[in-house]
A = this chain, B = another copy of it.
Amino acid sequence: MFSKATEYALRATIYIARRSDEKNKPGLAEIAKVIDSPRSFTAKILQQLTKNNKIVSSVRGPNGGFFLTDKAKKLPVYSILKAMAEDEVLTKCVLGLKQCSETKPCPMHAQYKPLKQQLIKLFETKTIQDLASEITNGDSVIGNGK
């Protein structure tokens, strides 16, 4: 469904949200290990999320690492998709028509549309914090332990 880059972005952000506060900032090595992603590639993705979109924050130097502000934690998961420029995975025509519209719908449209809307709603409604809590509560996992 999503690219590897976006999958890593989602997993990394959720993990950081769960692990970070004023005192505790997971570093790249820890993050990549836990979410099981290639380290340097993950670094690039975190740069993307840090730079333009202000979803993830970072500090350099000893005891540095990545963290999410309380404000960032309240962002919808959808904002990660937008930061990765993959939000149109959810919005575009499932058969690849240039426009997904009511006036010239593809033959899947009528039945696909309600599912699509539920999907979008799910990503718009769930916050990063919501997903992080799921893990803290032990209801779900994001990778290999922790």
User: Which A residues fall within an 8 A CB radius of B?
Assistant: 1-2, 4, 7-8, 10-11, 14, 36, 77, 89-90, 92, 94-98, 104-112, 115, 118-119, 122, 126, 130-132, 134-135, 139-143
The residue in chain B whose Cβ has the minimal distance to the Cβ of A92 is B1
Number of copies: 2
Complex Cα–Cα for A135 and B142 (A) = 43
| Contact between chains at B142 and A106 (CB < 8 Å) | yes
Q: How far is the CB of A127 from chain B (nearest CB, A)?
A: 11
Q: How far is the CB of A97 from chain B (nearest CB, A)?
A: 7
| Contact between chains at B140 and A11 (CB < 8 Å) | no
| Contact between chains at A143 and B97 (CB < 8 Å) | yes
Q: How far is the CB of A89 from chain B (nearest CB, A)?
A: 6
| Contact between chains at A126 and B108 (CB < 8 Å) | yes
